[in-house]
Amino acid sequence: MIVQQYKEMLNGKSVIRQLSEFATERGKAIGYENVFDYSLGNPSVPAPKEFTEALIRMLQEEDPMTLHGYSPSLGITSVRERIADSLNERFGMHYKKEHIFMTSGAAGAIAHAIRCIAQPEDEILTFAPFFPEYNPYVNLSGAKLRIVPANTEDFQINFEEFENMLSDKVTAVLINTPNNPSGIVYSVRTIERLADILKKKSEEYGHDIYLISDEPYREIVFEGVESPFVSKYYDNTFLCYSFSKSLSLPGERIGYIAVNPACKDAETFVNMCGQISRGIGHNCPPSMIQLGVAEVLDKTADLSVYERNMNLLYDELTRLGFRCVKPGGTFYIFPKALEEDAVLFCEKAKKYDLILVPADTFGCPGYFRMAYCIDTEKVERSLEALGRFVKTEYDIR
């Protein structure tokens, strides 16, 4: 009576994971410092010392029964309050604690948001290039994820294809800005146009279409780039946040959903999230981790390395003749491969110890992703390998 649905998933090994494992193996042979591993989106700067200090202080001073005691299933009240206050102050919003639900990172947030508003047969649209884990978040809820093809001009939204794919079956649209893998930040104009279409279509279909906004890279935005706060532009928005990147805490699995106070059923949705969690026995993130991040809500790790790395790579990639839209944030860059098949291109790059991820599973064949959350010194050394790769394999420069 083994459940086939999950058993069959075991065959589909992630391309990113395979490349990361290759990089680790290769590192054993030549030293990992000599492998230019651009495979994983894993923060490369330490958590802010204030986080470490806050946890040590709590462990030394707080009553362990309070510190490690049950959290209410929606999250610790004071933590939810502080998150609401912080969002209100920074973004001019009007959240109350009743709009906040604590989650296991953005992953948990998105999965819960989907289960609030989508049932089997419903469709959720997202835009290529997209984070491939959206597939299990949506598909295991019974709903269906459909991918709007990329706008490869500037990686804003391909509105023509989007409007073609909208139908009465669509209950939510899932966006990710700043974007993994393109590194692009959606412009105010993009968000406004998206909001206009969703309002018009909600009216036409006679049911709400929700916007699920995946924002783990919110704090990693580069100089001169305007990153609109999505929830300001559309009432029915679930903001899905993670502290993984801003505080460099990916393993601590902590984030939240903030349902727009202007959304009709906002408080009900937050309460429903508690019921969804019950079913999987997850309940809520650990008390200590909730209390820890609440102490450093307006801090970040030192994120400046990502912009430095981006500039180095962008300059060299364009100099070498790659077509590449300049990232506005995140720690990803997304150039067009030098041959049609990006899988082959990335396979050849391995010979130069360059670990690049083909974007086929991101819904954008012909492109590749580089996750430059690595030391700047290594990025600098990788440029020579990149030049050699391109010159040797593609006879450029």
Residues 58-77 binding a second copy (CB under 8 A) are 59-60, 63-65, 67-71
The total of other beta-carbon atoms located within 10 Å of residue 122's CB is 17
Out of 3, 29, 31, 395, the residue judged to bind a second copy by CB under 8 A? 3
Q: Which stretch binds a second copy (CB under 8 A): 183-191, 249-257, 310-318, 376-384?
A: 249-257
Q: Which stretch binds a second copy (CB under 8 A): 181-189, 220-228, 266-274, 359-367?
A: 266-274
CB of 330 to a second copy, least distance (A): 17
Which residue lies nearer to a second copy by CB, 6 or 226? 6
Which residue lies nearer to a second copy by CB, 185 or 289? 289
Which residue lies nearer to a second copy by CB, 110 or 194? 110
Residue 133 in contact with a second copy, rule: CB under 8 A: yes
Return the amino acid letter for 242.
Answer: S
Interface positions, 148-167, toward a second copy (CB under 8 A): none
**Maximum Cα interatomic distance, the chain, rounded to a whole number of Å:** 66
CB of 177 to a second copy, least distance (A): 19
CB of 157 to a second copy, least distance (A): 22
CB of 121 to a second copy, least distance (A): 11
CB of 116 to a second copy, least distance (A): 6
For the chain, give the secondary structure using H, E and C: CCCHHHHHHCCCCCHHHHHHHHHHHHHHHHCHHHCEECCCCCCCCCCCHHHHHHHHHHHHHCCHHHHCCCCCCCCCHHHHHHHHHHHHHHHCCCCCHHHEEEECHHHHHHHHHHHHHCCCCCEEEEECCCCCCHHHHHHCCCCEEEEECCCCCCCCCCHHHHHHHCCCCEEEEEEECCCCCCCCCCCHHHHHHHHHHHHHHHHHHCCCCEEEEECCCCCCECCCCCCCCHHHCCCCEEEEEECCCCCCCHHHCCEEEEECCCCCCHHHHHHHHHHHHHHHCCCCCCHHHHHHHHCCCCCCCCCHHHHHHHHHHHHHHHHCCCCCCCCCECCEECCECCCCCHHHHHHHHHHHCEECEEHHHHCCCCEEEEECCCCHHHHHHHHHHHHHHHHHHHCCC
Which residue lies nearer to a second copy by CB, 28 or 397? 28
CB of 382 to a second copy, least distance (A): 20
Which residue lies nearer to a second copy by CB, 64 or 321? 64
Residue 140 in contact with a second copy, rule: CB under 8 A: yes
Convert residues 208-227 into a mask of x (bound to a second copy by CB under 8 A) and - (unbound): x-x-----------------
Out of 37, 215, 219, 252, the residue judged to bind a second copy by CB under 8 A? 252
Which residue lies nearer to a second copy by CB, 122 or 161? 122
CB of 301 to a second copy, least distance (A): 9
Interface positions, 92-131, toward a second copy (CB under 8 A): 103-112, 115-119, 122
Residue 90 in contact with a second copy, rule: CB under 8 A: no
Residue 206 in contact with a second copy, rule: CB under 8 A: no
Residue 353 in contact with a second copy, rule: CB under 8 A: no
Interface positions, 271-300, toward a second copy (CB under 8 A): 271-272, 275-276, 278-289
CB of 88 to a second copy, least distance (A): 25
CB 147 within 8 Å of CB 126: yes
CB 106 within 8 Å of CB 244: yes
Residue 9 in contact with a second copy, rule: CB under 8 A: yes
- Closest Cα to residue 333, out of 356, 302, 304? 356
